[in-house]
Structure 1
């Protein structure tokens, strides 16, 4: 009988919205989790800073001594503290003590993933982290396991719900960034300090994890180019609309192959215009979605709730069940795969496309001056649109693919032309054939 087997002992480090939901579900459905793992699953302790703030967790489980829980009898440690320290030290201690780990800590994995994976391997235990990217969406396990026999070429994702909510609302209402951010804060879609979300830090950590799994290469947070959405205005949204596009904050991880066959990995986070018929264009509100392009499987789409207590708890519990099963059968889960060891490609040399809006003098020769500047930097033009406004005109240029450094240098030189009053906006274009 499963109920007669030695229980799998689980300790939680941190117990916010997600942790509370994990404890609740384990206690409300013990028979189901026992059947799924092959043994009873028992929470033996929950480490928090202020026990009196957790009335929904049984008092006898609460402690302020996280280190004692790690050193104790638990078989699996679930880390929901977030941040780098003390999470890093606690998880390393757990792994070195022979305890498997489940974590939702994307920042820690992006900064110190290789150290944690090495500790897990050295001590024959597991580290699972499905909840670290895209909340409830089953994404990391398919990349790590289901597509292990395929060759992934590109992963493009909307992986931050706050930024996606803001850009979706700006697109649907025509409102500006500041007022939309204020509304997102009021509705609870944005934190009081939204920096990690709107400046792209959260998405960059997730991009590092995605690139590492997709391309069997260690990619850290420092390898990810990052730009946020605070510079996006209503004019940018309208410009995208005029070209039947929308604006999204994208995490883009791709395999780049040079003419000589040399491969590298580009990982970047930035706003981009995408066609309205692209699978990611219709992802609205605070939802997440990731679009995977693989050599044999083709195009795959993963979509769902990317945050929230219950959705994230679902991913944590999926990992917990997997780790517990391995404890029961004395087995091991998938290990880190970094055999490809591809170099990280600097943003300067990453091929991209630009949408450039210019305010120019409406007189003969202006377009030829602008075109000559593009030609000087070996950047090909795909689309040009000009609309007069009295003595001035609005000029929109969309480029073909070129190195990002060449595009940036082109824009800088154009801004110095006497016929150009202002470079109104510059944004990258994704999701179209160049």
Structure 2
């Protein structure tokens, strides 16, 4: 446990938010009260831990503080309405958990919470956003960046989804084996977004959030035990472990980002690379597969090209471009087009990459990644003034401290000429 109270609190929130949410929901069944109570507990912890030090069991401290807050609210409601709360719970004793037939379920708190959030009664995009917020504690601002929408828009979507859970009476339970397959696409999308948030934090000081990414991997492994031949889960796990295999080389000892060409490949987790490559050869991915599974499989093949190359120079960039062409044919998106432009620059030169990135400004108007890519390519063609301006725009848009520092260093290293 970290001694710094702020860092310790941040770690607990990142690692345990979903489990705390699920424990409180299992006891109280009041989503509105649970989320407010957890937020209040974290706010209180920020004050008290800084004054009194980090408690021996910070997770239990937050759970107790949030539980007491919910009970206070329930008592206040009871007094205000002159009646008992709608739900009476045991104050002492074990946490209650809603379950379907025990033979048909996996008893995992996070899975139960994700399945509630990704109920088919909810809009799929709003469901994934809600799961990111409740299960893994991703900030609304970061979720908005993942979905490429303004933060107020995303906040409104999440609020509507929470209200829908209450008004539709969506249960906090793992569904039966017959119903579970209908939920897998939503679970996979949620895990994918969480993993993306771990390796591309929209805000905050961290270059990567490995714990968040590991939570997403764990979630997929849990569900895959139920459906070991489910194409969407096999393809997604392949993608995740291949990307996750580079975690130890992504950041240097000073916490600065290390770009892929400069990473020490001996620090990659080669057992996970082997697992990912093997998953791509699984019989679950042979023959026609659902579109979502195909998207993950193509991205996993791109990751495999990087993971299995002996160096950046040995990467088969022409094949990478072809994989991106396949991905865009399956699911066109501005982020995929930008990634393809980077691959085109490596395969055919920076001017070709700049041309491939044309036309993306309107779709990526809030993203720092487009001007960052453009700056790097302009630098390679010798347009120092253009590169400096593009780096400036990227820095202005970037809300992540580590990325902003990296962009600033790259801009500062430009030669002093026009």
TM-score range, shorter chain: under 0.3
Higher relative helix content: 2
Which protein has greater RCO, CA pairs closer than 8 Å, 6+ apart? 1
Q: Give TM-score scaled by structure 1 length.
A: 0.27
Please state which structure has a larger fraction of its residues in strand: 1
Q: What TM-score do you get using the length of structure 2 for normalisation?
A: 0.27
